[in-house]
Amino acid sequence: MNKTLKKILLILAVLIALFLIIFFLARSNITGGVITGGTIKATTYSITKAVCDDTNYCEDYEIQCNGEEIVSMAPTGFAIQNSDSWTDPRTPEQINKLCG
């Protein structure tokens, strides 16, 4: 009877643990935005972008954005020197758009 009681208690403990895990996961609202009053507000996010100069030296930057506003811009340490004949395949809009 002692072994049977231990098995029942172990099964009961596992079921309670599963219930609590499912309960707390179901209550968490994991979203990409903060929901307030039925609308989603802009959140901060980061992107990386190559910024090139007139000598075709391109350096990668991490850009922190809040909606369409730049919060910060920091070099990642990655860079490349392209040849003089290289042309950036991105459109001017893609090159100039940082956030948003």
DSSP state of 93: H
pLDDT band at residue 76 under the 50/70/90 scheme: very high
Measured between alpha carbons, how far is residue 15 from residues 25, 26, 34, 64 in Å? 15, 16, 33, 43
User: CA-based angle 4:7:11, to the nearest 5?
Assistant: 140
Q: What is the pLDDT of residues 23-73, one digit of tens each?
A: 776 665 555 555 555 555 557 888 899 999 999 999 999 999 888 888 899
Residues 43, 17, single domain; the answer is: no
Residues 50, 99, single domain; the answer is: yes
Residues 13, 42, single domain; the answer is: no
Q: What is the pLDDT of residue 8?
A: 86
Residues 20, 54, single domain; the answer is: no
Q: How many domains does the chain have?
A: 2
Structural domain boundaries enclosing 38: 33-82+90-100
Residues 76, 63, single domain; the answer is: yes
Residues 8, 53, single domain; the answer is: no
Residues 52, 71, single domain; the answer is: yes
Residues 42, 15, single domain; the answer is: no
Q: Average pLDDT for residues 64-89, to the nearest whole number?
A: 90
Sheet containing strand 57-66, strands side by side? 44-52, 57-66, 69-81
